[in-house]
Structure 1
Amino acid sequence: MIEDVTLRGDERILITRTDRIGDLVLTTPVFAALKHSFPNLRVDALVSSYASSVLQNNPHIDNLLLYDSDNHKGLHSTVGKNKYDLVILVYPRPRLAWLAFRVGIPIRIGTAFRWYSFLHTHQIHQHRSKVEKHELEYNLELLNPLGLRPGKIFPKIYLSKTETEAADALLRLYNLNQDDLKIIIHPGGGRSSLRWPEEKFGELAALLKQRFSARIIITGDENEKRFSEKVLQFLNQQAVDLTGKLNLRQLAAMISGADLVVTNSTGPLHLAAALGVRTVGLFCPIKTASPVRWGPYGPGHVVLVPPIGSCRCSVEKCRRGNCMDLIKVEDAYQGAELILKEAQAGAKI
């Protein structure tokens, strides 16, 4: 049996999480737990360039390394020169496990049950595909060999005053002010889950606009314009369409000033939760995409799943075509109404 690691408190630690936005947001508690317990650790993060700005301004991270799969030799050199004492492979990938072994990082913490797990000096026995807990909690389990078993730690995004002021200034250009009820509709989504039909997002947005006099803000990346255009049709083009106009930090700043975010299981959902903004999250029933593992972390959110019971489909092949259309607009509206009425009564996360 491998013994737990006793830290001096001044080690150099590398944490790898090289996938997408939401995944990295849900890893921020790992950095926080380490620095809260040992403030003098040097904690670096190896992340994808796509998601790296999630960690901008984060006080628990000393240095960011960007993962470039096409420049493995350069990464090998950088990681080797930094002489890390310990690596935590949050996102398991054989190439990174092999890199950590090759450069001689003495303590390598990762999950068990993979063909390359022999490269890990400390193996955490977890089957994330069983969906027995939240992704954030799976991430924190990787700290167990260090004798750390932190309690509930929420994900957090750190925005600067300049960033939030810039978002406010942008909204003023669209004649939105501080007192307006602002609802962000983000109809797009990644490849790991099915999406609620954009027509239903449009119907919901129209209801919220009518019944709450809400100002609707539509967001998405450049490739999601077709979704936003369909939502706009239900609003007679009367919404603030920021699709393709914001980078990740600007999107986060925009979200921080919203009263509600409605979206699928996607990165902006986790950005909102990490910023203390309540969400209505639309999730598919596929087990690996379950809100048990991937839902917004924290209190006050509403999660909706199609009422179909057990599901053995995959994201690539849904037997019903797309069961997400079984989530009724009225159910989504009732979830939004609950959040907005509590907000109007002064309730906050």
Structure 2
Amino acid sequence: MTRHKGKLKILIFNVNWLGDVLFSTPAIKLIRKIYPHAFIACIVPPRCKEILEENPNLDEIIVFDERGIHRSIWEKLKFIKLLYRKKFNKAFLFHRSFTRALVLYLARIPERIGYYTKKRFYLLTSAIKSPDTSKMHRADYYLYIVAEHEKYTGEINFKPDFFISQNDKEIVAALLKEEGVGDNDFTVVLNPGGNWTQKRWPKENFSVLSAVLIRDYGAKIILTGAAKDKDLADEIANLSGMPLINLCGKTNLKQLAALMQKVDVVVSNDSGPLHIGSSVGAKIIGIFGPTSILLTGPYKIDNSKTISRDVGCAIPCYKQGCSDIRCMKAVTIDDVLDVIKKITGK
């Protein structure tokens, strides 16, 4: 493997989802390992910027808001001009999008590396044939682009990176104090949301789980999520008949990570927050249904436990509008309680 020492300028065009951007951080770390002296920038959508903030392997984060400010052709052209002026030498394209490949091509970046597709291969200088993704974790999928192009044969043992500050921890400590949560309380975070409903454990299950944990263990239950999840959390609290703490919309991602790191255990659907919590060492239980633990489960993390049940469906299943969701319903409250007991010793 060749080590590069010049002030090379490298651009990474990342993917769109919180969990996937987090899964890309091992590949970012590998690029930094190969090019320790390079200037490395990464493009992400606005909602994913926090995932990469404070990451020491990056020198710059560039926001590409395709659904907002960069929606029009004119704004895309201005964005392309911005990239051109930055004079990047090389770009890794983690996204399979034609549009993003075209952006890099028009920005005249000399080396453009990404996976081969029939629609865009001619826009890349290095179009890499995709490996068999049926048994490959998403993090390894991004790592493969870098390792294959760079002919890297060394050891790769990187975990996802997510960085939180002392200030984030202090904000969370103050918030918990305000909500009446003490340092010695048995505290459980429940993260009931998800980017599509098929990945959500039934709200009735979360409500019963909350009631049992409060009744049997005197737990303090905290519901987390974005502002859009507040109504769901309120429903769970009302169904439980118990005084649950609803922090939906009251934390950013950094503070959510600090919260998960601090509490005794976290129960979450397969979502970005699940992987964020895993990456900062939280004791976390992930409930999986239509998605594959092998492909998108916690990556090289010992502190995470996952629960899923085989109901005869093909996994992963991306059938939108599935009204049955029997894969999620098959995971019982007792299943989750048993894992909580094992993790916490309760």
What TM-score do you get using the length of structure 1 for normalisation? Answer: 0.89
Helix, strand or coil at the partner of 1:51: helix
Aligned to 2:200: 195
Matches of 1:274 and 1:133 in 2, distance apart?
Answer: 19
Given that residues 194 and 322 in structure 1 are in contact (C-alpha distance below 8 angstroms), is that contact kept between their aligned partners in structure 2?
A: no
Helix, strand or coil at the partner of 1:46: strand
The answer to whether residue 51 in structure 2 is matched with residue 64 in structure 1 is: no
CA offset at residue 87 of structure 1? 0.7
Aligned to 1:292: 294
Q: Deviations over 1:258-311 (max 9, x none)?
A: 2221111111001101111122111123xxx21111111211322122321342
CA offset at residue 193 of structure 1? 5.0
Given that residues 278 and 303 in structure 2 are in contact (C-alpha distance below 8 angstroms), is that contact kept between their aligned partners in structure 1?
A: no
Aligned to 2:87: 83
Helix, strand or coil at the partner of 1:101: helix
Work out which of the residue numbers 261, 270, 273 in structure 2 matches 1:265: 270
Work out which of the residue numbers 250, 255, 259 in structure 2 matches 1:254: 259
Cα–Cα, structure 1 residues 225 and 340, in superposed 2: closer, same or farther, change >3 Å? Answer: same
Q: What is the correspondence of 1:18-29 to structure 2 with a 5 Å cutoff?
A: 18-29=15-26
Cα–Cα, structure 1 residues 292 and 110, in superposed 2: closer, same or farther, change >3 Å? Answer: same
User: Counterpart of 1:138 in structure 2: which amino acid?
Assistant: Y
The answer to whether residue 47 in structure 2 is matched with residue 50 in structure 1 is: yes
Matches of 1:179 and 1:272 in 2, distance apart?
Answer: 21
Given that residues 185 and 216 in structure 1 are in contact (C-alpha distance below 8 angstroms), is that contact kept between their aligned partners in structure 2?
A: yes
After TM superposition, the structure 1 stretch with the greater mean CA deviation from structure 2, 157-166 or 217-226, is 217-226
Work out which of the residue numbers 191, 215, 221 in structure 2 matches 1:216: 221
Matches of 2:198 and 2:294 in 1, distance apart?
Answer: 14
User: Counterpart of 1:12 in structure 2: which amino acid?
Assistant: K
Q: What is the correspondence of 1:308-327 to structure 2 with a 5 Å cutoff?
A: 308-311=311-314, 313-318=317-322, 320-327=324-331
Helix, strand or coil at the partner of 1:302: strand
The answer to whether residue 146 in structure 2 is matched with residue 134 in structure 1 is: no
Given that residues 194 and 315 in structure 1 are in contact (C-alpha distance below 8 angstroms), is that contact kept between their aligned partners in structure 2?
A: no
Cα–Cα, structure 1 residues 151 and 232, in superposed 2: closer, same or farther, change >3 Å? Answer: same
The answer to whether residue 112 in structure 2 is matched with residue 95 in structure 1 is: no
Helix, strand or coil at the partner of 2:41: strand
User: Counterpart of 2:283 in structure 1: which amino acid?
Assistant: R
Cα–Cα, structure 1 residues 24 and 305, in superposed 2: closer, same or farther, change >3 Å? Answer: same
Helix, strand or coil at the partner of 1:309: coil
Cα–Cα, structure 1 residues 208 and 126, in superposed 2: closer, same or farther, change >3 Å? Answer: farther
Matches of 1:147 and 1:259 in 2, distance apart?
Answer: 43
Structure 1: unaligned runs, 5 residues or longer? 345-349
CA offset at residue 127 of structure 1? 5.3
Aligned to 1:40: 37
CA offset at residue 39 of structure 1? 2.2
Given that residues 168 and 255 in structure 2 are in contact (C-alpha distance below 8 angstroms), is that contact kept between their aligned partners in structure 1?
A: yes
CA offset at residue 63 of structure 1? 0.5
Q: Deviations over 1:145-196 (max 9, x none)?
A: 1233542211121111111111111101112122222211011101385211
The answer to whether residue 305 in structure 2 is matched with residue 302 in structure 1 is: yes
Aligned to 1:174: 179
Helix, strand or coil at the partner of 1:281: strand
Aligned to 1:347: none
Matches of 1:90 and 1:192 in 2, distance apart?
Answer: 26
After TM superposition, the structure 1 stretch with the greater mean CA deviation from structure 2, 117-126 or 83-92, is 117-126
CA offset at residue 5 of structure 1? 8.0
Helix, strand or coil at the partner of 2:285: strand
Cα–Cα, structure 1 residues 172 and 141, in superposed 2: closer, same or farther, change >3 Å? Answer: same
Query: What percent identity do the matched residue pairs reach?
Result: 25
Matches of 1:18 and 1:5 in 2, distance apart?
Answer: 28
User: Counterpart of 1:318 in structure 2: which amino acid?
Assistant: C
The answer to whether residue 150 in structure 2 is matched with residue 146 in structure 1 is: yes
After TM superposition, the structure 1 stretch with the greater mean CA deviation from structure 2, 136-145 or 218-227, is 218-227
After TM superposition, the structure 1 stretch with the greater mean CA deviation from structure 2, 228-237 or 163-172, is 228-237
Given that residues 92 and 112 in structure 2 are in contact (C-alpha distance below 8 angstroms), is that contact kept between their aligned partners in structure 1?
A: yes
CA offset at residue 222 of structure 1? 1.9
Matches of 1:305 and 1:321 in 2, distance apart?
Answer: 13
Helix, strand or coil at the partner of 1:44: strand
